[in-house]
Amino acid sequence: MDLQLVGKTALVTGASMGIGRAIARGLAAEGVQVAAVARRTQLLEELAGEIERRQGPRPLLITQDIMAADAAARLRDAALAGLGHVDILVNCAGGSRPLPLDAPEEKWEEAITLNFTRQRQITHALLPQMIERRWGRIINITGKSEPDRLNAAFSAKAAVHAWAKGLSRDVGKYGITVNSIPPGRIMSEQIRRNYPEDYRKSHAAAEIPAGAYGEPEDLAVLAVFLASPLAHYISGAVIPVDGGLRRYAF
C-alpha cells in the first residue's frame, strides 16, 4: 500500500530506543524526512546509521532533554530550521512513575511534566505552522487505563487522552488529526530490566490473548498509518496496541 508519505516531515521524540526508534525507522522507510529527538547522542547516531543502511533519508538528529524548561521552543526551532516545516509530530518521550502514597509533590510534578505537560507544549509550539499549511498529524504514545497501583504516569497519560480529544475537535477544520496509542507490554529497556524472561512468558500466557509481549514494530505500523494522508478520517481516537491485554470493552 502506498501511504502517500514521501516528502513529508516528522518530529519524533523519544526516538533513541524502543517504540520511538521503531516509529522513526518506519516513517523514514516510507520516505519521510525525520527529526529524531532524544537525550543520548550515540543512540541517535546508531539510529541514523540504521536508517541510511535501509536506504531511507538520513534523519535530523536533535539531542534534547524534554524535561528542560524551554524544551518545546528549542525543539520547534531546531526542527523548523532543519526541516523547514513539520507535518507529523510523534510524542513518544515519557516514562513510568510508580509512587508511594506519601510521595513528595515534586515527584508528581516531575511525572506530569514528563508525561503530559511537555507533550502539550511541544504540540502547541508546532500547531501554528500546521494550521498555516492546513495539514498535520499529531500522534501521542500514551499508556493503559487500567491502573493496578498508584502510578503518576497513568494520571498523566489519562490527561493526554482528554487533552488530545478536545484538541482534535478544534483543529480538524485545518486538516489536522490528533490520535493516541496506548501500548500494552511492548519490549523495551524498561521491560527487560523490570520483568525477567520467565515472568514475561508466564504473564503473556495467562493475560495476553496474543500469547506474547509485543515488539516496538507492532505499534510502529499503526503510528505510521495514522501519520499518513490515508488516515484523514481517524481523529480523536485512542487505539490500544496490546495483543488483547486490556479487559474493558470501550
pLDDT by residue (tens digit) across 82-140? 999 999 999 999 988 889 999 999 999 999 999 999 999 999 999 999 999 999 999 99
Distance CA(245)–CA(100), nearest Å, equals 25
Cα dist from 131 to 38, 53, 110, 117, 124, whole Å: 26, 34, 30, 21, 11
Question: pLDDT tens across 177-231, in order?
Answer: 999 999 999 998 888 888 889 999 999 999 999 999 999 999 999 999 999 999 9
Query: Quick check: 248 pLDDT over 90?
Result: no
DSSP three-state, residue 245: coil
State the pTM of this model. 0.95
Q: Given 3.40.50.970, 3.40.50.1370, 3.40.50.720, 1.50.10.20, which CATH number is that of 9-231?
A: 3.40.50.720
